């Protein structure tokens, strides 16, 4: 849908100072390390957004979030 905000839209998800670089590219480390609270918050946000999308009729988008949630959940270690 044209004009629909996306996660790359700075108004929706502004870039953090850690992801900005002088040449405009982002370099990623081979791993992302999250605290338990950060991992829980990410899972909760994905679940909440997925439910909101389903209620709004965005089942395809909700399926994408569900896949991301499943991936994150699989990678969690105790």
pLDDT at 3 over 80: no
The single-letter DSSP state of residue 13 is S
Q: Give the number of other CB atoms < 10 A from CB of residue 50.
A: 21
pLDDT digits (tens, 9 = 90+) for 17-70: 555 555 677 788 888 888 989 998 999 999 999 999 999 999 999 999 999 998
Residue 74: pLDDT band (50, 70, 90) is confident
Q: Measured over all CA atoms, what is the biggest interatomic distance in the chain, rounded to whole angstroms? A: 42
pLDDT digits (tens, 9 = 90+) for 4-23: 555 555 555 555 555 555 56
Contacts of 40 (CB under 8 A, 6+ apart): none
pTM for this prediction: 0.58
Dihedral angle sign, alpha carbons of residues 30, 44, 7, 19: negative
The token pair at 67 is 């896949």
């Amino acid at each position: 849908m044209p004009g629909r905000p996306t996660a790359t839209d700075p108004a929706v998800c502004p870039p953090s100072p850690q992801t900005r670089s002088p040449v405009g590219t982002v370099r990623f480390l081979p791993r992302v390390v999250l605290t338990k609270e950060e991992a829980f918050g990410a899972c909760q946000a994905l679940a909440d957004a997925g439910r909101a999308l389903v209620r709004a009729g965005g089942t395809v988008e909700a399926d994408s979030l569900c896949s991301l949630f499943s991936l994150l959940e699989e990678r969690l270690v105790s």
